[in-house]
Amino acid sequence: MRLHKGAELTAPAEVSALALIKDRSFDLVVANEARALPLAHAVKGSAPVWGDMHEWAPEERTHVLSWKLLVAPYMRHICERYLPMTDAVSTVNASIARLYDKQFGTMARVVRNARPFENLTPSPLEGDRVRLVHSGAAVPGRDIESLISATLQLDPRFTLDLYLIKGRDGGEYWRSLRALAQDSARINFHEAVPPAELPKVLNAFDVGVFNLPPRTTNHRLMLPNKLFDFVQARLAVVFSPSVETDAVISAHSLGAVTGGFSTDDLVATLRALSSEEIAGYKQNSHRAAIELSAESDVETERAIIARLLGL
């Protein structure tokens, strides 16, 4: 019925937060993603609000029909109502920042999904072997199937190691991926590792792979934390096309971008890589690791806080 204003502050987490906060006062309130904006403004008192939007909230999950029909209008309502009165707005890349600026009148700052600098060096290649690796959540829509199918089609010099966090489905999707791998000796499933340990674990491999068809605006404009994980691990990368990732990969010569989003596109790109190219891309990741670490993003955050608090 589009009674969006009446739906604000009714979610269980919002009700609990209001009960816990009661009449406390704050110097600064940070809203983590758009759905937290109504709560942030409800409890701010005289404090400024920083909306850390992460990605493009109005189309976060529009590839899911129920979300598109029921949730997307509410997310747009939140953005239209609260972003103009939010004192600072940040998002993960320049393309999405421009969307917020154009549609909601913000002056969004970019805070990437980068991670702290890791003092690592590229691992040496093992002959002509190509050790592919992917880390992330085992949830439908991430197209991990294409990585497995591509590896099965590639010649024996290619292996694939997967560090996957099981989803909330009790591991059903994770098990379907294992079945798709057909017990191949070249495809290995590992338990997920803590984020702080991830670069050191990934450092043992050669190429970080990621393929994601652009089902949503966020997919089309992605700049995911995986890219920064792979760089800090000193890997070469192979990604499907995206405006933002293409620019970073090209600027630092980190690896290759596939010609499209199919398994065949991934196979063709990986098959064309030589050992010499992979070794060179790994060295380029090493050279870019400082620039692509979180330090510049932390400075942006410090500047936002200083401005909001008048420091």
- pLDDT tens profile 121-141: 999 999 999 999 999 999 888
Q: CA dist 75 to 32, 88, 179, 217, 237, Å?
A: 14, 18, 37, 14, 34
The candidate with the shortest Cα–Cα distance to 206, out of 267, 152, 127, is: 127
pLDDT at 2 (0 to 100): 84
User: Once rounded to an integer, what is the mean pLDDT over residues 36-43?
Assistant: 98
| Arithmetic mean of pLDDT, 204-228 | 95
pLDDT of res. 307:
97
The one-character DSSP state at 121 is: -
Q: What are phi and psi of 290, to 5 degrees?
A: -70, -50
Amino acid sitting at position 260: G
| pLDDT single digits (tens) 131-185 | 999 999 998 888 999 999 999 999 999 999 999 999 888 889 999 999 999 999 9
> How much of the chain exceeds pLDDT 90, in percent?
94
Q: Are 239 and 266 in contact (CB under 8 A)?
A: no
pLDDT at 63 over 90: no
Counting every residue, how long is the chain?
311
Angle at 104 between CA 101 and CA 106, to 5 degrees: 45
pLDDT in tens, 269-295: 999 999 999 999 999 999 999 999 999
Question: pLDDT tens, 7-37?
Answer: 999 999 999 999 999 999 999 999 999 999 9
Q: How do residues 69-115 score in pLDDT, each as one tens digit? A: 999 999 999 999 999 999 999 999 999 999 999 999 999 999 999 99
**What does each C-alpha distance from 193 to 59, 106, 137, 169, 185 come to in angstroms?**
30, 37, 12, 19, 21
Nearest to 270 by CA among 168, 130, 145: 130
Task: Say what the pTM is.
Answer: 0.92
Per-residue model confidence (pLDDT) at position 141: 82
H/E stretch holding 180 reads: helix 172-180
Q: How is residue 184 written in tokens?
A: 């191949």
Residue 233 has pLDDT above 90, yes or no: yes
Which of 278, 239, 242 minimizes the C-alpha distance to 146? 239
pLDDT at site 237: 98
